[in-house]
């Protein structure tokens, strides 16, 4: 891993896009993360939802292509980057590892290709991005 590696848990804002390229299969999606904090006995939003453009490549992309959908909760780890499109800068992550996490209130996680345990973090579902927030893949 490099110096700017990020690991983040969030929810897909829309169904993923699957592309077969000459260099391999790529799955792209928007991952939303809303910072939360504990206020007494409850978790409350602690800031705006942050959106990341995630790309998953090759064998990992083929594994996840049919398993991801809008709202799926995942943990993604990979190098943090950025790209510019139509004058906007988008934060990107190229997934080096990824796992599907259990949704809030579900007792067992969905199957993943790794043996990583599901995270016990308190984050809930995040709202879908508006048309302005949606990246242009």
Q: Tell me the HSE value of 93 on the side-chain side, using a 13 A CA sphere.
A: 25
Average pLDDT over residues 36-50: 90
Q: Which CATH number applies to 5-100?
A: 2.40.50.140
User: What pLDDT band is residue 120 in, cutting at 50, 70 and 90?
Assistant: very low
- DSSP assignment of 61-115: HHHHTTT--TT-EEEEEEEEEEEEETTEEEEEEE-SEEEEPPPTT-SSPPP-SS-
Average pLDDT over residues 94-114: 72
In this predicted structure, what is the pLDDT of residue 109? 52
The answer to whether the pTM exceeds 0.75 is no
DSSP code for 43: E
Is residue 110's pLDDT more than 90?
no
Is residue 2's pLDDT more than 60?
no
Residue with tokens 């398993």, as numbered in its chain: 67
């Amino acid at each position: 891993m490099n110096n700017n590696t990020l690991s983040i848990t969030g929810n897909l804002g829309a169904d993923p896009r699957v592309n077969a390229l000459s260099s391999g299969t790529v799955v792209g999606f928007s991952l939303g993360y809303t910072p939360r904090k504990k206020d007494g006995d409850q978790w409350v939003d602690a800031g705006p939802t942050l959106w990341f453009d995630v790309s998953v490549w090759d064998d990992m992309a083929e594994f996840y292509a049919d398993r991801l959908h809008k709202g799926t909760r995942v943990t993604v780890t990979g190098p943090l980057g950025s790209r510019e499109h139509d004058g906007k800068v988008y934060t990107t992550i190229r997934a080096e590892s990824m796992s599907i996490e259990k949704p809030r209130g579900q007792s067992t996680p969905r199957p993943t290709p790794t043996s990583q345990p599901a995270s016990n973090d308190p984050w809930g579902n995040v709202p879908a991005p508006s048309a302005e927030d949606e990246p242009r893949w």
